[in-house]
Amino acid sequence: MRPDTPADHTAEAERLLRTAAQYPEDHEPLLLQAAAHLELAGDRPKATTLYDRLLASKVDHPHLVKAFKAANLWEYGHEPEARAIIEGIRAAAPLDPAAWEIVAETLEAHDELDLAHASLTTALTMLGVGEEVVDVTGIPYSTQSLLTTRHRVRRLLALAHDTWDTLADELHTAPITLDELHDPKRLWSLGSEDPAELQAELARLRAELGSYRAALSRPFPVAVLHWPEPELDELLTAYPELQSEYPTHAAHLLDIEASLRELAAAGTPNLGIVTATVPSYEAFAASESSSPANADLLPQYATTLAARGRAVAWPPGRGADCWCGSGVNYGDCHGAG
């Protein structure tokens, strides 16, 4: 059951803080989740202290943390500081879709539509989403959200459709089109006495609710486990019972790519890869009161790592190195198949 009241959110934040203390290597995603619950509980100053705590340490996504901090600050009266942080992020131009998403949504929420639009356009350009894209399946899940948000902002600005808006339409799977969902005149229908208009708005709200529920049901990627070769050698030496799961390292890598492509073809969004280590796996097995030789633990271990924020999105972005660690461009490595 998800938290619903401020007290529930505070309790969940405290639980996440305890978990972060237990798994310091995963403190960044866990503290970000805790800060989000504190915001929902109405304790925005305490959420800011968590963002500051993260920024005072070494984090993998500093611009994302700064974006969350800016969004939070703006909500409780610290607009100048929030604006300064956002300008700093835009100037740094990070290759982090999530940071750009938070920046754009914050600007949109405060009616800075032109700046939100400029930020989203910059982000998509930097992330290599060319306007000539034909194969939508090659667009990372995290980047797809930027296209949808940009579509909404452009509708609010009354701008004509461009190629990226068409791409957002193609990626949209709900029964009601993005144009209708993002229609800035929708608020008018809420004051209408026309039953047909009210029914249409109810249908739109149900479609949006379905999309939100789908996103909430998948708060972290569906992840596949990746064993680097030295770790796999150590695993199989210690637990030869797992040899049938991993005949060779090369076969293991091919199986990862095949599994992810199969999931993508079946329509599963938000896919990722988590990197395994033997000590981490052994600790997980101990926590489950089971032997690491138990192959049934492997998918559970992958899900646990993903839930702790350890997943790397698949497929890699355009021009990115392959997930396998070869140092070769993904399109020339496992992405070439």
Tell me what the mean pLDDT of segment 287-306 comes to: 91
Query: Could you tell me which residue, 187 or 21, shows the higher pLDDT?
Result: 21
- 40-68 confidence digits (pLDDT tens): 999 999 999 999 999 999 898 999 999 99
> Tens of pLDDT along 221-276?
788 999 999 999 999 999 999 999 999 999 999 999 999 999 888 878 788 899 99
Largest CA distance in the chain: 72
Q: In what side-by-side order are the strands of the sheet with 312-314?
A: 222-226, 271-275, 312-314
| Interacting residues of 203 by C-beta distance below 8 A, sequence separation 6+ | 176
**Residue 220, both tokens:** 């972290």
Pairing of strands 271-275, 312-314: antiparallel
Residue 155 has pLDDT above 60, yes or no: yes
Instruction: State yes or no: pLDDT of 303 exceeds 80.
Output: yes
pTM of this prediction? 0.70
Q: What is the mean pLDDT of residues 67-96?
A: 95
One-letter amino acid for residue 42 of the chain: G
Residue by residue, DSSP assigns 113-165 as: HHHHHHHHHHHHHHTT--TT---GGGS-HHHHHHHHHHHHHHHHTTPPP-HHH
Distance CA 304, CA 301 (A): 5
More confident residue, 132 or 31: 31
The per-residue pLDDT of the chain, averaged, comes to 86
Residue type for position 218: R
Give the tokens for residue 299.
Answer: 């998918």
Q: What is the mean pLDDT of residues 89-112?
A: 94
Q: Which of 59, 23, 50 is nearest to 305 (CA)?
A: 23
Residues 276-308, buried b or exposed e (16+ Cβ, 10 A)?
A: bebebbeebbeeeeeebeeeebbeebbbbbbbb
pLDDT beyond 90 at 295:
yes
Contacts with 326 (C-beta within 8 Å, 6 or more apart), sequence order: 333
In the predicted structure, residue 123 carries a pLDDT above the cut 90: yes
Window from 15-19, 158-162, 169-173 with minimum mean pLDDT: 169-173
Please state the rounded mean pLDDT for residues 178-205: 68
Tokens of 245: 């799961």
Task: Give CA–CA dist 167/148, Å, rounded.
Answer: 9
Neighbours of 217 (CB within 10 A): 7
pLDDT at residue number 216: 43
- What does the pLDDT read at residue 249? 95
Nearby residues of 201 by Cβ (< 8 Å), 6 or more positions away: 186, 189, 190
Q: Is the pLDDT of residue 317 over 60?
A: yes
User: Is residue 217's pLDDT more than 50?
Assistant: no
Read off the pLDDT band of 31 (50, 70, 90). very high
Assess whether pLDDT exceeds 80 at residue 187: no
Range with the largest mean pLDDT of 113-127, 174-188, 312-326: 113-127
Buried b (16+ CB within 10 A) or exposed e, 168-190: beebbeeebebeebbbeeeeebe
Q: Considering the chain, what percentage of its residues have pLDDT values greater than 90?
A: 53
Helix/strand number for the chain, H first, E second: 16, 3
